[in-house]
């Protein structure tokens, strides 16, 4: 049987906990909406998906994802417009990236249209969970993991795809301090850095904690070979503004996760005629620009935080303080515009939002 998205069975919960949520103080990623979507893969095909009450799942101790890491995820958001409509931001981009992650991890691909429709459907069922306050959204977490009950290393033959959602508040409440990492590596050439696969995040925890003990929120990752070129900031892409030009590490190497937020930032900047350079960005260039006062801005870009301004950059024994946030005209303007598109407060000239 193949998937029929017009006939997805929905089993509603008998006890919605919507009323128990403190809607004035939404944390990030700790509150879960009432339902989730589940779709299994077996016998070489996707089985009919179902929407069920959000609940724990039971897994066999030999579930291969737990042992060998065939596990990938996505993250995207839905927002409520002033008129009360719900918009999902660029789900097609997440669908495409999910396919890339699937390919890299030897997992079965979900067709783009199916992925987008399943996201739309799960948001539709829990539409009342989409918050309406500024800086709040419904975070959508699709993920896929190997479920073969087998001890042995080979691609699994069975998988489980789940989408759950979380009403969320702001990810960072303040500008972030980052440290340029010159020893540990997030991703190396030929590795899995371009895939949103679980192991990448597990591997980053120890180095990130070393940085946190020195007072930094996150690390700026450099290339695994020479540690000379900047790649990403924590789990966000990184963008600099030097002399009015947006500069960001190019994605040609497969060590950089291809972010939807960064791409959107660049597409807006391009439309506005802001000069953009996607190329190798050396640590030396950034430190020089800080020292000679031409570095106007540095920020992380990612779905969770949208744009996270960087306040301080630590490099070796020095900590550099970047220009005050309010002077960062370009990124402030882009962030506001992006927020307005996501929330339907300005015309969606790019055609980015999917109405639910
Ligand atoms: C998810 C992620 C990003 C940001 O991607 P968005 O699509 O903008 O959310 C950047 N870097 C890493 C390592 C990521 O996992």
**Residue 75 Cβ < 6 Å to ligand 1:** yes
Phi and psi at residue 13, in whole multiples of 5°? -70, 150
- What is the position in ligand 1's atom list of the atom closest to the CA of 304? 9
**Residue 91 Cβ < 6 Å to ligand 1:** no
- What is the position in ligand 1's atom list of the atom closest to the CA of 193? 13
Residue with CA closest to ligand 1 atom 15: 235
Residue with CA closest to ligand 1 atom 13: 235
Strands (E) in 43-128, as ranges, are 45-46, 50-53, 71-73, 76-80, 86-89
How confident is the model at residue 174, as a pLDDT?
85
Pocket test for ligand 1, best of 237, 301, 304 (most atoms within 8 A of CB): 237
pLDDT per residue over 187-214, tens digit each?
999 999 999 999 999 999 999 999 999 9
Which residues touch 289 (CB under 8 Å, ≥6 apart)? 240, 242, 295
Angle at 198 between CA 267 and CA 31, to 5 degrees: 80
For 161, the 3-state DSSP assignment is strand
CA distances from 169 to 80, 133, 166 (A): 13, 9, 10
Nearest to 277 by CA among 285, 266, 288: 266
Q: Give yes or no for a contact between 330 and 297, defined as CB atoms under 8 angstroms apart.
A: yes
The structural domains of the chain, ordered by start, are 5-170 (3.30.470.10), 176-342 (3.20.10.10)
Give the pTM. Answer: 0.97
How confident is the model at residue 1, as a pLDDT?
62
Angle at 251 between CA 249 and CA 253, to 5 degrees: 105
Q: Cα separation of 152 and 156, whole Å?
A: 10
Which residues touch 6 (CB under 8 Å, ≥6 apart)? none
How confident is the model at residue 46, as a pLDDT?
98
Which residues touch 43 (CB under 8 Å, ≥6 apart)? none
Nearest to 305 by CA among 200, 165, 197, 176: 176
- What is the position in ligand 1's atom list of the atom closest to the CA of 260? 7
Local mean pLDDT, 10-residue blocks, the chain (356 residues) = 90 96 92 98 98 97 97 98 97 98 98 98 98 93 98 97 95 89 96 97 97 96 97 96 97 93 98 97 98 97 94 97 95 95 96 98
Which residues touch 183 (CB under 8 Å, ≥6 apart)? 207, 227
């Amino acid at each position: 049987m193949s998937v029929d998205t017009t006939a997805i069975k929905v089993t509603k919960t008998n006890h919605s906990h919507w009323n128990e949520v403190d809607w004035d103080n939404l944390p990030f990623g700790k509150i879960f909406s009432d339902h989730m979507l589940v779709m299994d893969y077996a016998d070489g095909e996707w089985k009919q998906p179902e929407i069920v009450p959000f609940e724990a799942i039971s897994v066999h101790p030999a579930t291969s994802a737990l042992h060998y890491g065939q596990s990938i995820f996505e993250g995207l958001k839905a927002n409520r417009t002033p008129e009360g409509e719900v918009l999902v931001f660029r789900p097609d981009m997440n669908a495409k990236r999910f396919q890339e992650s699937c390919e890299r991890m030897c997992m079965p691909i979900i067709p783009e249209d199916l992925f987008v429709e399943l996201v739309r459907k799960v948001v539709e069922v829990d539409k009342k969970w989409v918050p309406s306050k500024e800086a709040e959204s419904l975070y959508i977490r699709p993920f896929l993991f190997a479920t073969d009950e087998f001890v042995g290393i080979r691609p699994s033959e069975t998988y489980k795809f789940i989408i759950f959602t979380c009403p969320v508040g702001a990810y960072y409440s303040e500008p972030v301090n980052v440290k340029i990492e010159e020893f540990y590596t997030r991703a190396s050439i030929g590795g899995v850095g371009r895939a949103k696969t679980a192991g990448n995040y597990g591997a980053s925890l120890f180095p990130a904690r070393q940085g946190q003990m020195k007072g930094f929120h996150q690390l700026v990752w450099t290339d695994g070979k020479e540690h000379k070129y900047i790649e990403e900031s924590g789990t966000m892409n990184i963008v600099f503004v030097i002399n009015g030009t947006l500069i960001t590490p190019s994605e040609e190497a497969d060590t950089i996760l291809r972010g939807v937020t960064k791409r959107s930032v660049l597409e807006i900047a391009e439309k506005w005629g802001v000069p953009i350079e996607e190329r190798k960005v050396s640590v030396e260039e950034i430190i020089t620009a800080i020292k000679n006062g031409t570095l106007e801005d540095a920020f992380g870009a990612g779905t969770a935080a949208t744009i996270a301004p960087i306040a301080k950059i630590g490099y070796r024994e020095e900590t550099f303080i970047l220009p005050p946030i309010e002077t960062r005209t370009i990124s402030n303007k882009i962030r506001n515009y992006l927020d307005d598109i996501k929330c339907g407060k300005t015309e969606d000239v790019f055609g980015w939002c999917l109405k639910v």
